[in-house]
Structure 1
Amino acid sequence: MSQPTGGFHQRLQGLAPRQQQAFMAALCERLLPNYGLYAQTTGNGNPAGLRAILDLVWEQLSVREARIDFDRQAEKLAELEPPGNDDSFGARRALEAVVALSAVLDTLRGESPDAVLEVSRTSKGGVRAFIELTEGEEDARRLAERIREHPLMEDENDFQDAVLEAAEGNLDRDALKALRQLGRNGGVSNLGLSLD
């Protein structure tokens, strides 16, 4: 299979809005376990609430006639954010899941041309933060190199490439189901963590 031409970001921005939404929804699926782990360890948050909103996003993508009030969903989502005074590593990763889902909702409520790049960067940023935390490298250049070559970052890049490739196709119901499955990634998040 030949690689489509153009860099990753150009290809992302070249997607139709619905394809971008599907790309973002798949990335959100993979961020959800981070939120779930945060809720499990702190008792803060509501993973079922987050799941319900993401399920509505998928419903909107697969049933074009679906009439979902995404303004209302955005209000509900805002209530699911980790407390503002919690600056822990887990809270920041949980917040990334909320921010990514919020970006998808923005596109469903109207225009948000950069949302797809924001979600891509948010997911990669979480991986970068996790590697920085675990590698503890002082030298910035060496750390940057280590991040680039780290298996988690390679996995993240491969994952986003695979999702982009799937989103570039014809997104019928089966393709969306497959994309959602890909996003769920066997319940393992972008940080290699799972709830099990």
Structure 2
Amino acid sequence: MSGFHQRLLQLEPHHQQAFMAALCERLLPNYGLYAETTGQGDLHGLRVILDLVWERLAVKEARIDFDRQAEKLAELEPPLDDDSFGARRALEAVVALSALLDTLRGDALDAVLEVSRTSKGGVRAFIELTEGEEDAQRLAVLVKTHPLMEEENDFQDAVLEAVEQSPLDRDNLKALRRLGRNEGVSNLGLSLD
């Protein structure tokens, strides 16, 4: 296991949740683009659930029924029979947010790793789609050195450093959320604008 993954696992659960929430923020535009282009899904519904997560991170006593939120989230998944690239990226946003909700509901020990890998997996899939490299070894090198993957790794490093170094008070959570929103640009370099 990489040093990065070990650092994620060593975080307090609250800090893991903040890390995951920031990554979910960065995945939302992918879902939004899918919803906008297909008429499937509901970006606002996803946004509301993620906003409730941030509220809970800021106010530990906040009474939020995350079981109900998980039910609502399941309804926002792209249709199972849609195997398009956009649907798979939209599904990643739902899967990441679902893993985060699982931790708020009391289970999912490796959820933080799942969310990290989900975000990186979407970037890998995008590079594979856009570069069209057949040779597996060359593709592996290409993925590793691709600017989008470098950005993804830098982004996750920055989020991890932010949650490791700071008490998660309201101001630091706001800064983390801004970092996650990444000015509306997703992990694939896409934005709703």
TM-score by length of 1: 0.97
Give the letter aligned to residue 146 of structure 2: H
- In structure 1, what is the equivalent of residue 169 of structure 2? 172
Q: Tell me how far apart the structure 1 counterparts of residues 142 and 5 of structure 2 sit (CA, whole Å).
A: 23
Which one of 170, 180, 183 corresponds to residue 183 of structure 1? 180
Q: Offset at 1:112?
A: 1.1
Q: Tell me how far apart the structure 2 counterparts of residues 37 and 83 of structure 1 sit (CA, whole Å).
A: 15
Q: Tell me how far apart the structure 1 counterparts of residues 4 and 177 of structure 2 sit (CA, whole Å).
A: 20
> Please, which runs of 5 or more residues in structure 2 have no aligned partner?
none
Which one of 80, 84, 101 corresponds to residue 97 of structure 2? 101
Q: Offset at 1:170?
A: 1.1
Matched, 1:146 2:142: yes
Q: Offset at 1:7?
A: 1.0
- In structure 1, what is the equivalent of residue 64 of structure 2? 68
- In structure 1, what is the equivalent of residue 192 of structure 2? 195
Q: Offset at 1:192?
A: 0.1
Q: Tell me how far apart the structure 2 counterparts of residues 181 and 128 of structure 1 sit (CA, whole Å).
A: 24
How many residue pairs get aligned? The number is 191
Matched, 1:25 2:2: no
Q: Offset at 1:111?
A: 1.9
TM-score by length of 2: 0.98
Matches within 5 A, 1:123-138: 123-138=119-134
Secondary structure in structure 2 of the residue aligned to 1:110: coil
Q: Tell me how far apart the structure 2 counterparts of residues 173 and 11 of structure 1 sit (CA, whole Å).
A: 23
Q: Quick one: percent identity of the two aligned structures?
A: 82
Q: Tell me how far apart the structure 2 counterparts of residues 189 and 118 of structure 1 sit (CA, whole Å).
A: 18
Q: Tell me how far apart the structure 2 counterparts of residues 99 and 111 of structure 1 sit (CA, whole Å).
A: 15
Matched, 1:13 2:9: yes
Give the letter aligned to residue 181 of structure 2: R
